[in-house]
């Protein structure tokens, strides 16, 4: 379902037959004595030498561009050596120890190794670590090209490793978006349901023909869905570069439909554009749709395509992705309906196991020791396309840290961590309407979701590794809803969603409909009543 992405400072990498701890840091480049400069991501091993946490405490030293060499033999050392400077050399042909040893005995105060491959921590053995007293770090080839283009020959560099904050403020935005989507989607689903029942009672479904039909989820559908999720996740892990574009195209189409569904209730209140297009034989237009529906469709497609074209613009494309993602989630929450609490429990428990397995168990099964869920959600670091899956809410990190420059500049929350608990919240709201309970189930389940999300963030900060959010969201929402049902002594009806009868001669209840007496009362709607007007709007 998409694990929430951690923000660890230290990453565990495997090299040869030993484990090496590598850390992300920053290399601050500037021209001469200029105060302005630019930070670049570096990957270093503190066992060679530690880096200061503050830029003001880091020594600014002249760089020596030796990227035409790999610095593996004394003949590669220029005349005069590297006195009080930090050479930049290419990776390859010899060990990290041989490179840094040559640099150190020739006066270097540090070493930057430029790598065209994936950044890995520069390793060595215990005796080599004790012999070397200068820092050594890896810099990407792409960053080296940018440095050469941006700064002159007299460029200076200062290497440092600021401490990663325990919690990033972007978590507040993710929390508000996730809880808001669940609350609005669950409320909308219940309100739409009561309107639909009202229209059926009045035998007037003309206004409903433009609304999407709901889909009741069955146990067989749940099993098929989970099998498809497992298969797709495994295929993405092994064939990411081949399937990522198909996923992006699917998201563009689904998000456009979701955005249309969310905007249509507002657009149809506008008194303009009701005229229909002339008769024609065009596909999807032969029924002469209204002009405003065509304009809205064109707008939604344009927004989706804009995101598809500029999806890798990190400065602003994430805003569009989140907006489209929220619209998609709202559409799914009002379209997919769990008919009983029994179905809710089955779906949430099965996906709970699915999430935990692919985050915590799969690292024991893969050769690299990586979690399949986290690796796919964030995009494999060795992907040739460098594309990211769009099925997540993403917010850039708001603090200054090495991860902002390196390969984890965003915090992520998968759509599944919104949709799965959101379906239970929607069920609770429909049950509130059925039982006329002042939305106690809806409010309790929504609060439970918010608490579960907060626990997820705390687990991220404490464990410093990717977390299956459903591990915390499922118990918080299921147990909260169950507790309310037990407290109100309504568990049998809440579990089955049907079979409850009160005063059978006058009033009957069924989850497929609402109180018939309520419908008779509902026929005299007062548009001035804000709540009744809300039902009519949606």
What are the Cα distances from residue 89, in Å, to 25, 49, 99, 401?
A: 18, 18, 9, 25
CB contact at 8 A, 51 and 157: no
Q: How far apart are CA 529 and CA 536, in angstroms?
A: 11
Question: Catalytic annotation on 39?
Answer: no
Question: Catalytic annotation on 417?
Answer: yes
Active-site pick, 216, 417, 526, 529: 417
Q: Spell out the SS3 assignment of 27-78.
A: EEEEECCCCCEEEEEEEECCCCCCCCCCHHHCCCEEEEEECCCCCCCHHHCC
In the chain, how long is the greatest CA-to-CA distance? Answer: 104
Question: What's the DSSP call for residue 501?
Answer: B
Question: What is the number of alpha carbons within 13 Å of residue 219 lying toward its C-beta?
Answer: 4
**DSSP bridge pairs for 89:** 66, 113
CB contact at 8 A, 22 and 10: yes
Q: How far apart are CA 535 and CA 538, in angstroms?
A: 5
How deeply is 24 buried, as exposed, middle or buried, from its count of CB atoms within 10 A (0-12, 13-18, 19+)? buried
Active-site pick, 168, 193, 211, 355: 355
In which residue are the tokens 């769990």 written?
A: 338
Q: What is the CA radius of gyration of the chain?
A: 29
The total number of residues shown for the chain amounts to: 538
CB contact at 8 A, 119 and 94: no
Question: Annotated catalytic sites, by residue?
Answer: 355, 417
């Amino acid at each position: 379902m998409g694990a929430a992405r951690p923000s660890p400072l230290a990453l565990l990498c495997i090299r040869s037959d030993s484990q090496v701890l590598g850390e992300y840091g920053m290399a601050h480049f500037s021209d001469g004595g200029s105060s302005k400069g630019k930070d670049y991501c570096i990957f270093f091993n503190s066992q060679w030498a530690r880096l200061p946490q503050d830029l003001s405490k880091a020594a600014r030293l002249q760089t020596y561009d030796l990227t035409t060499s790999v610095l593996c033999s004394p003949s590669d050392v220029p005349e005069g050596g590297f006195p009080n400077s930090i050479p930049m050399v290419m990776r390859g042909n010899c060990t990290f120890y041989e490179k840094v040893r040559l640099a150190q005995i020739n006066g270097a105060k540090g070493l930057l190794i430029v790598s065209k491959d994936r950044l890995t921590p520069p390793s060595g053995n215990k005796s080599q670590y004790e012999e070397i007293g200068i820092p050594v770090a890896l810099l990407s080839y792409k960053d080296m090209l940018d440095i050469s283009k941006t700064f002159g020959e007299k460029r200076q560099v200062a290497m440092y490793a600021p401490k990663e904050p325990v919690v990033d403020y972007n978590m507040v935005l993710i929390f508000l978006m996730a809880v808001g989507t669940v609350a609005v989607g669950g409320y909308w689903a219940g309100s739409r349901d009561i309107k639909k029942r009202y229209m059926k009672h009045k035998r007037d479904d003309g206004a409903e023909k433009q609304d999407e039909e709901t889909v009741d989820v069955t146990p067989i559908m749940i099993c098929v869905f989970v099998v498809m999720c497992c298969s797709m996740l495994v295929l993405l892990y092994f064939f990411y570069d081949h399937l990522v574009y198909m996923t992006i195209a699917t998201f563009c189409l689904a998000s456009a439909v979701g955005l249309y569904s969310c905007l249509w209730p507002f657009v149809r209140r506008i008194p303009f554009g009701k005229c229909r297009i002339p008769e024609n034989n065009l596909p999807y237009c032969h029924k002469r749709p209204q002009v405003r529906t065509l304009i809205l469709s064109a707008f939604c497609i344009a927004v989706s395509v804009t995101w598809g074209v500029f999806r890798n613009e990190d400065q602003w494309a994430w805003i569009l992705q989140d907006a489209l993602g929220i619209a998609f989630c709202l559409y799914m929450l009002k379209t997919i309906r769990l008919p009983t609490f029994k179905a809710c429990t089955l779906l949430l428990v099965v996906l709970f196991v699915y999430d935990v397995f692919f985050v915590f168990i799969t690292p024991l099964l893969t050769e690299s020791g990586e979690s399949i869920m986290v690796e796919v959600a964030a995009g494999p670091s060795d992907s040739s396309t460098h594309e990211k899956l769009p099925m997540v809410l993403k917010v850039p990190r708001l603090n200054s840290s090495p991860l902002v420059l390196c390969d984890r500049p965003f915090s992520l929350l998968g759509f599944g961590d919104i949709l799965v608990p959101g379906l239970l919240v929607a069920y609770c709201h429909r049950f509130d309407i059925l039982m006329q309970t002042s939305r106690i189930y809806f409010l309790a389940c929504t609060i439970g979701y918010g608490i579960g999300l907060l626990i997820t963030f705390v687990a991220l900060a404490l464990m410093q590794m990717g977390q299956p959010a459903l591990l915390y969201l499922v118990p918080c929402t299921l147990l909260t809803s169950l507790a309310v049902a037990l407290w109100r002594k309504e568990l049998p009806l809440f579990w089955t969603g049907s079979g409850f009868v009160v005063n059978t001669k006058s009033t009957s209840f069924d989850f497929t409909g609402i109180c018939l007496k309520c419908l008779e009362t509902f026929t005299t709607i007062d548009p001035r009543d804000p709540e009744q007007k809300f039902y009519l709007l949606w």
